[in-house]
Amino acid sequence: MKKLLLLSSLIGASAFAHEPYLAPVAFVTENTQTAVISGYAEQALSSEYALKDTQFTVISPSQKSEVIKPSSTLKSATVIDLPLAEDGTYHVSAKVSYPLKYALHQKQWKLFYESTAEKAGPIADRDYVIADDFKASKKGPQFENVIREWSIESYISKNKTSDIALKAATPLTVSFSVHPNEIKATTPINILVNKNQAVLKNAQINILAKGATEDQAITASTNAAGIAQVQFPSAGQYLVEVTEVPDLKKKPSNQYFTIISLEVN
């Protein structure tokens, strides 16, 4: 199944299944500074295209907030220097958004993509629609424009972990039952998801090991209390992707994703 997560005008014709993320060079360190790498990736934590016009919010262990703008001009990734003046855990985040167009097709709302039938292939093999899919319709497609917004986040601890009392405000907030930098492989933990400060049931959670693609994700969903129990199969770096599952029969609205990078011990 071909999935469209970003339009080709953003990063080129090979934009299928690319999503933004950020991750530090080291999640736990003794250094006085570290680099944070971000970008669009098809394989988890392997940036292929740099973010554009993005600024990063850093909240220090003493709950001081700072905005950092990248100075790098790389094409494959966006890099910032993160000063680590204090001991404890830093929260780093950024917001990335992109406009999307949906079309009503056979009573379901699907992403609309400007492409030819030759490039897109049969409709049965993809989860989006193109103009050719509406040739039989006399009225033409009904469109709805929305914004897809990603909050990309990570946690960096210098010398020790510390409580995370403050994070940048996002529509979807994700909390862990243990400190994000103290998660152990094969040990179950709880993930709590809130939308606009209310628990979100049936949120979709995808867990991708470094180098994995979307079809290799470990999946879970939250219960009525907004909680999902998950475990990471082995030590290593992961992305945790969280979103609300859309009802394809309802008119689409703005979509929100939270993507968090972690290192599991």
Evaluate the CA torsion angle 178, 189, 214, 16 in order and state its sign.
Answer: negative
Q: How many CB atoms lie within 10 A of CB 244?
A: 19
Percentage above 90 pLDDT, the chain: 78
User: End-to-end alpha-carbon separation of the chain, Å?
Assistant: 33
Strands 128-129 and 108-112: parallel
Report residue 133 as tokens: 């899919």
- Give the domain ranges of the chain: 19-98+147-264, 99-146
Inter-residue contact 39 to 49 (CB < 8 Å): yes
pTM: 0.89
CATH 2.60.40.10, applies to 19-98+147-264: yes
pLDDT tens profile 168-194: 788 999 999 999 999 999 999 999 999
Which pLDDT belongs to residue 17? 59
Inter-residue contact 111 to 129 (CB < 8 Å): yes
Inter-residue contact 220 to 2 (CB < 8 Å): no
Whole-angstrom Cα distance, residue 109 to residue 114? 16
pLDDT tens profile 101-160: 999 998 999 999 988 888 889 988 888 999 999 988 878 889 999 999 999 999 999 999
pLDDT tens profile 2-57: 554 444 444 333 334 589 999 999 999 999 999 999 999 999 999 999 999 999 99
Sequence length of the chain is 265
